[in-house]
Structure 1
Amino acid sequence: MFKNIVSNLVSLLKYLVRWMLVTTPVAVAIGSMVAFFLWLLSWAIHFRFAHTWLLYLLPAAGAVIHLLYKWYGASAERGNNLIIDEIHQPGAGVPKRMAPLILITTVITHLFGGSAGREGTAVQIGGSLANWFGSLFKLDGGDKKVILTAGVAAGFGAVFGTPLTGTIFALEVIAIGRIPYRSFFACLVAGYVGDITVSLWGIHHTLYHIDIVNTGQTFYGIHLPLGLWLLGKVVVASAVFGGVSYAFARAVHMVKNFSLKWIKITWVIPIIGGLVIITLTYILGKPDYLSLGVDAEYPGAVTIVSAFQHAGADAFSWLWKLIYTAITLGTGFKGGEVTPLFYIGSTLGNSLAELMNAPVGLFAALGFIAVFAGATNTPIACTLMGIELFGGEYAIFFAIACFTAYFFSGDGGIYLAQKTALSKTELAKTKYLKRMFGKYRL
């Protein structure tokens, strides 16, 4: 028995050391490239702020992006979905050109004002580099899945400064209702090493602040740590967040399908998309819904940061950002969906807080993570993101918001390659619930 215990400990130690040695250089490379991407992205956004006329070149930029992927993209056009498919079932692999191609085209999108994010770029950088290292290290099929998942964790953790979120996101996004623990350690190492690497390059992430809120309540002389009235408002708002998550995913897919069906010359699609964005901006009279929406182009602009303050968003800022992003991504521009989801969620949270007389900062934070949770079907990762970004004081509200939005967002999501191990509707029919509530019809 003693020999078996020692043997198991030695095997476990070898496993941990092996994956630490394999994952660390991969995560350093991914973190370095993500740092370069974030620096270049910041430059592009602020350059457009200083040269607003660049927006009028957005249609031409879209055509260039389309041609780059047509000539050099190959399977890289499928983006995050290709990486998820490769994790499910390794096949042709992730092309090396994916990383530089998505970096360049994302920067082009933001330089000319397209409404997109950065998570998709970081994840594709992570997947592409991880696949290349996997071939370099001659990993077999099972280990290739692990290193690809770790690449996603490194990219996500590095781009947002949330290493633990990146770890769980990479595991949770693969299949709804299932987490592959085999990849956990490699993802954990990758997430933290990627984040540290970005910090060592001198890249800083946006900080968010929530004003202190008294969440307790005295009920018939008994002090409750969670006020029932505030809790009810959080649940109602979170159901709305889930509905908007569903609307966002549907809108992006709908714009893409509609464009491909009715516009036969494919390079014209991004040109029309760019023209629509320009027209909307002219009609609205402000550029608040272009690009990332993190930094303010002018004093008083609606941004993710401003959404944490009273009167920091218009009543329908979230809807306009949803429309802008659906048109941008649906017509072929590149980037990610997550930062626009942060914008949509935080501004929607701001509007709901004003409507429901609730704490603005707290509801902006809940919307920030909950709309993301519903759209990607990753409630655990998004709960952890709330803790990493906003602190642990409101962790219970973060969990309630993310899981409520998750259940109200439907069975689909923004990633078509995401499998369903246990659907949300099937969950209500499991033998465990039947055993618990057997006398009721479920």
Structure 2
Amino acid sequence: MRHRPAFLRLFPARLRLLSTPATLLFVLRWVLLSGLVGVAAGSASALFLVALERVTAWRELHPWVLVLLPAAGFLIGLAYHHAGTLVGRGNNLILDEIQSPTTPVPLRLVPLVLGGTLLTHLFGGSAGREGTAVQMGAALADQLPRPLRLRPRDRRLLLLAGMSAGFASVFGTPLAGAVFGLEVVRLGTIRYEALLPAFLAALSADFVTRAWGVGHTHYPQLAVLPITPAGMGWALLAAALFGLTARSFATLTHWLSRQFARISYPPLRPVVGGVLVVAAVGALGTTRYIGLGVPVIEAAFGAPLPPHDFLLKLGLTALTLGCGFKGGEVTPLFFMGATLGSALAVVVPLPVALLAAMGFVGVFAGAANTPLACLLMGLELFGTPAGGYLALACVVAYLFSGHRGIYSAQLIGQAKHLRLGRQQGKRLGEL
């Protein structure tokens, strides 16, 4: 019988397992690996956020640059065309490599997506930032397995950690970032084997980004509001609308992408799309719906906004991303959700700030199929007093979005309900 040190007998059997050398080595190993991922992803996000702030400020001072959006689209399309179709798949490439590893994520993805996103925002495209940070985090993490001679299983965990780190550092929400990486790969399931790497990478990346002196948008803290039967009923109705909005955005974006794919020469797709965006903004007579739209998101928490705000942002973002411009979908989804929730305050007897916060996280939950990550994001950004309402928004919106989403490579691990059971095991892009 193997000899155990006498001091271990002082602890219950379950606690002894935590003291075994194998567990200790596992933890120390992932502290090191996740720390490396966190430093790389956090630094990349810091650089990206600073650059994005500067190009946005310059564009707002020189609104005429919008007319150059088609030219910027051609440069982006040309760069991705010559870099290969592999890197052009963005987040879907990362998801595929986690599910069925084939080839390392190219490091050239980092400068391509960074430059493409900055050009999109500089010249007035309607896009977000999460996709860029997630792709950079995962691509940087995937440079470690070969020199460190890691196993394929470890590579999957590193990719998940890189996604978590990128998401956490770009929004300043480490808990949501960690769970996002665990939840997004397979719809309806959580990758528990990656818990430690994801949380360590997310926490360290958020710390590194803040250590670089980069801040994040601050949103109002919600007041305590007890859940009542009437309040729950109104919350369920609003959440259903948030889910349908998420479904509409995902469906329209993928449909537009298929239409633009009919243009045989890929660099021309964002040129045509850029012309349409410029024409739409000119017809509207305002730049309110281009870029991230953070000022409008902040305004949504103060007073009810017009109901067309979320529709116009939905259309312009779907057009921008569907034709081939680069950037994320999440901040525009925040815009759609917050403005829709704000508009609903005219008819729904709930506080405008609460409805805006519910829409903020609910539309994102439905579009990304990550209700737990979105709930944690709501708690991190808006506080815990209204956690019950935020939970309803995320869960119900997730259900009402159906098997649709912004990530076509997302695998259905568990159907959302029995009537959709036949779709289990398929990718969203196959439906």
RMSD: 1.7
Q: What is the aligned partner in structure 2 of residue 264 from structure 1?
A: 264
Corresponding residue to 1:37 among 45, 48, 53: 48
- Assess if the C-alpha contact under 8 Å between 1:38 and 1:159 holds in 2: yes
> CA-to-partner distance for each residue in 1:186-234, whole Å, 9 max, x for gaps?
1000000000000000000000014535x33xxxxxxxxx121111111
Counterpart Cα distance in 2 of 1:73 and 1:35:
27
Alpha-carbon distance, 1:266 to partner: 2.8
Alignment of 1:266-285 (within 5 A): 266-285=266-285
| 1:80-135 deviation digits (Å, cap 9, x = unpaired) | 00001111121112001011110011000000000000000000001100000222
Aligned partner of 2:315 among 298, 320, 323: 323
1:307 is aligned to 300
Query: What residue number does 1:241 align with?
Result: 242
Q: Please give the alpha-carbon distance, in whole angstroms, between the structure 1 residues aligned to 2:335 and 2:129.
A: 13
Q: Distance in 1 between matches of 2:33 and 2:355?
A: 41
Take 1:427 and 1:62, find their aligned partners in 2: how far apart are those partners? 42
Q: Aligned to 2:142, what secondary structure does the other structure show?
A: helix
Q: CA deviation at 1:429?
A: 7.3
Displacement of 1:320 in angstroms is 0.3
Once the two structures are overlaid, the 10-residue window that deviates more, 352-361 or 117-126, is: 352-361
Contact conserved, 1:73 with 1:98, CA < 8 A, in 2? no
Matched, 1:190 2:174: no
Name the CA distance, whole Å, in 2 between partners of 1:330 and 1:92.
26
Among 397, 401, 407, the residue aligned to 1:415 = 407
Unaligned runs of 5+ in 1: 217-225, 296-302, 431-442
Equivalent residue, structure 2, for 1:109: 120
Residue deviations 1:325-360 (CA, integer Å, cap 9, x gap):
000000000000000000000000001112223210
In structure 2, C-alpha distance between the alignment counterparts of 1:284 and 1:210, rounded to whole Å: 33
Distance in 1 (CA, whole Å) between partners of 2:145 and 2:167 is 19
CA distance in 2, matches of 1:184, 1:429: 27
* Residue 173 (str. 1) matches residue 166 (str. 2): no
Q: Partner letter of residue 290 of structure 1?
A: I
| Number of residue pairs aligned between Structure 1 and Structure 2 | 411
> CA 1:429/1:175 → structure 2, altered by over 3 Å: closer, same or farther?
closer
Q: Distance in 1 between matches of 2:279 and 2:407?
A: 29
Q: Which structure 2 residues correspond to residues 20-419 of structure 1 after superposition, within 5 A?
A: 20-210=31-221, 212=223, 215-216=225-226, 226-261=227-262, 263-295=263-295, 303-311=296-304, 313-419=305-411
Instruction: State the one-letter code of the partner of 1:310.
Output: A
Amino acid at match of 1:380: L
Worse overlay, 50-59 or 4-13: 4-13
Q: Alignment identity in percent?
A: 43
State which drifts further: 334-343 or 129-138. 129-138
Q: Which whole-Å CA distance do the structure 1 matches of 2:358 and 2:419 have between them?
A: 24
Q: Quote the offset at 1:76 in angstroms.
A: 0.7
Contact 2:221 2:381 in 1 (8 A): no
Q: Which residue of 1 aligns with 2:426?
A: none
Change in CA separation of 1:422 and 1:202 when aligned onto 2, cut-off 3 Å = same
Q: What is the deviation of 1:425? A: 2.8
Supply the distance in 2 between the matched residues of 1:426 and 1:168 (Cα, whole angstroms).
25
C-alpha contact 2:222 2:383 (8 A) present in aligned 1: no
Secondary structure, aligned partner of 2:19? helix
Unaligned segments of structure 2, at least 5 residues: 423-431
CA distance in structure 1 between the aligned counterparts of 2:223 and 2:200, rounded to whole angstroms: 33
- Using the size of structure 2 for normalisation, the TM-score is 0.92
Kept in 1, the 8 Å contact 2:366–2:399? The answer is: yes
* Contact persistence 1:210–1:308 (CA under 8 A): no
Describe the SS at the equivalent of 2:406: coil
Shift of 1:403: 0.4
Between the aligned partners of 1:376 and 1:56, the Cα distance in structure 2 is 32
Looking at structure 2, the residues matched to 167 and 93 of structure 1 have their Cα atoms a distance apart, in angstroms, of 22
Secondary structure (helix, strand or coil) at the match of 2:266 reads: coil
2:66–2:123 Cα contact (<8 Å) kept: yes
* Aligned equivalents of 2:221, 2:288: Cα separation in 1: 22
Counterpart code for 1:36: L
Secondary structure of 1:356's counterpart equals: coil
CA contact (8 A) 1:73 1:97 kept: no
Instruction: Measure how far apart 1:398 and its partner are.
Output: 1.0
Segments of 4+ moved more than 2 angstroms: 1-9, 210-213, 263-268, 425-430
Contact 2:168/2:174 (CA < 8 Å) preserved in 1? yes
CA contact (8 A) 1:210 1:362 kept: no
Tell me the CA shift for residue 75 of structure 1.
1.0
Matched residues in 2 for 1:34 and 1:427: separation? 41
Report how far residue 160 of structure 1 moved: 0.2
How far, CA to CA, are the matches of 1:361 and 1:427 in structure 2?
35
Once residues 429 and 88 of structure 1 are traced to their aligned partners in structure 2, the CA distance between those partners, rounded to angstroms, is 20
